[in-house]
């Protein structure tokens, strides 16, 4: 089990961040909560007006804060893919291309 292995290898107070399909959220949260606390959910929204298909879930080893659901992270600019080439939003491109920090709010 990935969650258990990651939690075992994390120091007290450290975080584990994993990506999962949105439809698996209930089972995934239960698994995460069994090994980590202070869970945070960040939906990854493909385009404005569309439902998130992927989610990032972050947990803190030894954390005791309540579950937090953050505003979704918009991945692509525009409502559809109208042309060839990259159409990531600037913050998303920064994460993917420049190793910027993940967008979890503080």
Tens digits of per-residue pLDDT, 37-86? 999 999 999 999 999 999 999 999 999 999 999 999 999 987 666 665 67
- Separation CA 36–CA 58 (nearest Å): 9
The domain total for the chain is 1
pTM greater than the 0.85 cutoff: yes
Among residues 55, 58, 11, the alpha carbon closest in space to that of 33 is found at: 58
Instruction: State which residues form the domain around 70.
Output: 2-6+15-78+86-98
Specify the CATH number for the domain of residue 39.
3.40.50.150
Alpha carbon distances (Å) from 35 to 9, 13, 55, 63:
11, 13, 18, 10
């Amino acid at each position: 089990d990935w969650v258990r292995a990651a939690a075992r290898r994390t120091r007290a107070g450290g975080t584990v961040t994993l990506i999962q399909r949105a439809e698996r959220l209930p089972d995934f949260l239960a698994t995460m909560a069994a090994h980590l606390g202070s869970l945070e959910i960040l939906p990854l929204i493909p385009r404005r007006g569309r439902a998130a298909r992927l989610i990032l879930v972050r947990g803190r080893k030894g954390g005791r804060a309540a579950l937090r659901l953050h505003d979704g992270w918009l991945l692509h600019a525009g409502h559809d893919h109208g042309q060839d080439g990259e159409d990531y939003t600037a913050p998303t491109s920064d994460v993917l291309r420049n190793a910027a920090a993940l967008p979890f709010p503080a």
